[in-house]
Structure 1
Amino acid sequence: MNELRQINNYVVFQTDLEACIDYIKSITNEKIFLVTSGRDAKSILKEVHELAQIDSIFIFCFKSENQQKEKTTRDLSKESAEFLWFQMFKDVILRLPRGNHAKQQMIEFCQHYYRGNEKELKFIREFKHDYKSNMAIRWYTKETFLYKSVNKALRTEDIEQLHTFRFFITDLSLNLAAEYEKLKKKGEKIIMLYRGLIMEHEELETLKQNEGNLISTNGFLSTSRSKEEALEFATKPTKRTDSVPVLYEIQCNIEETDSTIFADIAEFSDYPHELEVLFDLGSTFEIVSIKKDIELSLWLIKLNASDKGSKVAKEHIELNRKDEEETSLELIFGRLLIDMGQYDQSLKYFQSLMLNDYTQKDDIAKINNLIGSAYYNKGDLDKALEYYELAYNLMMNDKPVRIKDSARPLTNIGLIYHRKGQYDRALELYLKSIKIFETYYGKEHIKTTKTLTNIDVYESSSSTSTSPELDYEDETCASASEESSPALSASRASSAPRLQYTVQMASMRPTVPIHRVREPMKTAVIRLTQKQTTDSEEDAEEQSCIF
């Protein structure tokens, strides 16, 4: 048991073959190391050996002639990357409070997860007593619970765990930013970095089709100043026939990139000879070229560090900060869950906020409104109505009465009746909320126009199936609302270009030698194209849920 925990802390024992197979198939966003007896190997292998979630299969057998017949399969994730969502997440998490409560929450999670693993528990105790914010990079380079847990959360985009580790993620990002400022003062203008990996043919073809586009990581990207270190990993022997060796050559122009943060971390590392350079969350790179290097017998992918992706994200984020002074960051974080369709996780998150002592009294009603929005997106209109009405009643019974805030749940109650076909009741509520929005925000504000859009939909409900718009807590997707709202189209030139985003998956793996294999890092290929859209086309678009 202890030996298994040294490989991976989470160990599950199964004694029933069918239950074991069902459990394996239920895992969708994790990789599994499967250890099975020789007796059961034939039965279980035919059921699971092609599953994407299986990383490696080990057959425990006493017959020496069979001990080398280990089957290993690897398949990098093909899930879509939510580039803009991840940039939104980074923006919010870096501004969340990271005091003692956040640190204690992270420590308690780690103590529970690594219970029984004395080696990691010792590191957790050391972290609890000795850690300071300026030690984040050093702790990240250690092969301990922290590195494993943070990268697992980033790799799987597990929002609940990412929120749990916000304390350390923020410190690490801030430390990298500070080191980047030191790097800029050294006078280097062009820095060449390298990353070696074994890549699947299919993934390479995807990248080859995207020359000139951007690639973005969803985690902290590890590279090296040493080409030899990268080549060591890229050219290591492999029995995989579906893969090829790849070397990333990354050019960083210090004078041209402000938002792509990276830092030399060799002085903080237990392995300084690796000359490791670490990129911050969500760094973006332009794919310059992809060519076969005959001399090195590998594919050479040239990248340029780029600010293009961050500039697009910055515009989106600035739009979504509208009226943010009215909404706490904890609620904004929860709204991101709804934004990316993780409704069950959002419900779990909001329920935990309700139980926390530090949650502000004024936020309780807003949380109920957001819970209603999660149920609305799940299609449970009755449950959504229950929480919208609870939010509205809490606001109206408060001292003083929160008329301004009440317009949000009032609008959402209206859309429930709208969806139920009770149009007169819906219109009555819409008109009531519009009066409040106009009083407190003005006729031109997005909140007012959003409700006007719902009335526009109401008037055409007899001939169209267009859905009304939700009013959550804020305009977390304000850019989407402005594009889809007929009420706004008259005030915007019909020929105004709009950025559209197509996001595909690729992946990058670490440069470090085999004795310190880093986690696989998912990346997104981002295409940025402009499309001229007429008002008539906008009116025909399906309205999206916005904050």
Structure 2
Amino acid sequence: MCATDEGTEDIKQELKLMRKKFQMCNNMNLIFGHLLLHMGHYSQAESYFQMMLQVMPNDHKDRAAVYEQIGDLHMRTTNWNEAFRNFTYAYERKKKSHQQQSMGITFNNFGNYYKAIEDFDMARMYYEKTLNCKNDSINTSITKVNLSNVYLIEKKYDEALNLCLQARDNLQQFRPHLPTEITYCQGTLGDIYFAQAKYDLAEAFYLTSFELSQKHLLIGDHLRTKCIMSLIDLYTKQNNKQRAFEFCKEQLVLHEQYLLKNHTSIAHLLLKLAELEEPHNNKIR
């Protein structure tokens, strides 16, 4: 992100929200690293977390959390083996130091990993293990949304919808402190309706998710990019390719004002624009 006053204010607001989200965490270094992750600065985030491991005592209670953050980073860059390796480090460290109160987070991470490699039985098992742990209501809700995504992939739409609505109703109680989680949940509800070709309902949830991302998430946040892609895919599916093309181009122009050219969000938008541009150009000819 460019060093503008607007960008600085966005970062301050994001840090404020993260402090509230991680109010039980006293390690500001972890929170800052998580911010780098959310901004899509993956190389900087990885260097930062590796530096933390180097200076942190081997028996420090937060080492497991650092490994989990590194694992999350590799999940976002589709480096599945490294993600699994770091999640395993976190699990072994927590097991050894009897950090049972946060084991649900680790099981949820394993669920995300197995979902990513399309082992849905294992993903479901780990999400269910997470729900059986002593989690706070926020982590329980996030896991329910993750599990609903597995049901969605398996075309169990009723189960997916019911679970996601449960999560949404609980997360709404914590507004405005959980914009990322609520945005994710609303987007998943849109995905469920989209998969059933209920495009009007899907659009309503996608627009809500996108508006939340505009208001609360930084430009370049991977979830904000997903919200944009969901709307583009919806407009395309509705045979409104002109609208999809214009919306994609508008978002690309906005992102290029704030992000470096090699940012992953810009890469995704450029690829999507190229995909839309071919039939668009053919139509003009």
TM-score, scaled relative to structure 2: 0.54
> In the aligned structure 1, how far is the partner of 2:21 from the partner of 2:43?
26
Return the match for 1:425 from 122, 125, 138.
Answer: 122
The match for 2:242 is none
Return the match for 2:214 from 484, 489, 500.
Answer: 500
Instruction: Give the CA deviation at 1:357.
Output: 4.7
Aligned AA for 1:479? Answer: P
Aligned AA for 1:458? Answer: V
1:85 and 1:336 in contact (8 A); partners too: no
Q: Which moved more, 1:384-393 or 1:349-358?
A: 349-358
The match for 1:413 is 110
Q: How does 1:291-306 map to 2 (within 5 A)?
A: none
Q: How does 1:139-154 map to 2 (within 5 A)?
A: none
Instruction: Give the CA deviation at 1:326.
Output: 2.7
2:49 and 2:70 in contact (8 A); partners too: yes
1:391 and 1:409 in contact (8 A); partners too: yes
Instruction: Give the CA deviation at 1:427.
Output: 0.5
1:320 and 1:479 in contact (8 A); partners too: no
Going from structure 1 to structure 2, the CA distance change for 1:80 and 1:352 (only over 3 Å counts) comes to closer
The match for 2:51 is 352
> In the aligned structure 1, how far is the partner of 2:109 from the partner of 2:213?
29
- Runs of 4+ with >6 A deviation: 81-85, 494-497
> In the aligned structure 2, how far is the partner of 1:369 from the partner of 1:85?
27
> In the aligned structure 2, how far is the partner of 1:432 from the partner of 1:502?
31
2:53 and 2:63 in contact (8 A); partners too: yes
Instruction: Give the CA deviation at 1:379.
Output: 1.2
Instruction: Give the CA deviation at 1:407.
Output: 1.3
Aligned AA for 1:434? Answer: L
CA RMSD in angstroms comes to 3.8
Aligned AA for 1:454? Answer: N
Deviations 1:58-100 (A, max 9, x none): xxxxxxxxxxxxxxxxxxxxx766878744654xxxxxxxxxx
The match for 1:333 is 32
SS in 2 for 1:324: coil
2:87 and 2:109 in contact (8 A); partners too: yes
2:71 and 2:87 in contact (8 A); partners too: yes
> In the aligned structure 1, how far is the partner of 2:48 from the partner of 2:6?
21
The match for 2:141 is 449
Deviations 1:383-413 (A, max 9, x none): 1011001101110111xx1111111121111
The match for 1:26 is none
Q: How does 1:109-508 map to 2 (within 5 A)?
A: 313=13, 317-318=16-17, 321-357=20-56, 361-398=60-97, 401-436=98-133, 439-441=134-136, 445-462=137-154, 478-486=178-186, 498=212, 500-501=214-215
> In the aligned structure 2, how far is the partner of 1:87 from the partner of 1:418?
36
Deviations 1:514-542 (A, max 9, x none): xxxxxxxxxxxxxxxxxxxxxxx9xx8xx
Residue correspondences, number: 183
Deviations 1:109-163 (A, max 9, x none): xxxxxxxxxxxxxxxxxxxxxxxxxxxxxxxxxxxxxxxxxxxxxxxxxxxxxxx
Going from structure 1 to structure 2, the CA distance change for 1:435 and 1:89 (only over 3 Å counts) comes to same
> In the aligned structure 2, how far is the partner of 1:351 from the partner of 1:377?
17
> In the aligned structure 1, how far is the partner of 2:69 from the partner of 2:6?
21
SS in 2 for 1:500: helix
SS in 1 for 2:61: helix
Aligned AA for 1:432? Answer: K
Going from structure 1 to structure 2, the CA distance change for 1:408 and 1:87 (only over 3 Å counts) comes to farther
Going from structure 1 to structure 2, the CA distance change for 1:373 and 1:83 (only over 3 Å counts) comes to farther
Aligned AA for 2:108? Answer: T
Structure with more of its chain in helix, by fraction: 2
> In the aligned structure 2, how far is the partner of 1:448 from the partner of 1:329?
24
2:180 and 2:213 in contact (8 A); partners too: no
> In the aligned structure 2, how far is the partner of 1:321 from the partner of 1:360?
27
Gaps of 5+ in 2: 157-176, 190-204, 220-230, 235-285
> In the aligned structure 1, how far is the partner of 2:58 from the partner of 2:9?
25
Going from structure 1 to structure 2, the CA distance change for 1:346 and 1:458 (only over 3 Å counts) comes to same
Instruction: Give the CA deviation at 1:451.
Output: 0.5
Instruction: Give the CA deviation at 1:462.
Output: 3.5
Going from structure 1 to structure 2, the CA distance change for 1:333 and 1:422 (only over 3 Å counts) comes to same
How high is the sequence identity, in percent, across the aligned residues? 19
Aligned AA for 1:500? Answer: Q
> In the aligned structure 2, how far is the partner of 1:480 from the partner of 1:343?
18
The match for 2:258 is none
Instruction: Give the CA deviation at 1:429.
Output: 0.4
1:410 and 1:430 in contact (8 A); partners too: yes
Deviations 1:249-268 (A, max 9, x none): xxxxxxxxxxxxxxxxxxxx
Aligned AA for 1:322? Answer: K
> In the aligned structure 1, how far is the partner of 2:9 from the partner of 2:146?
29
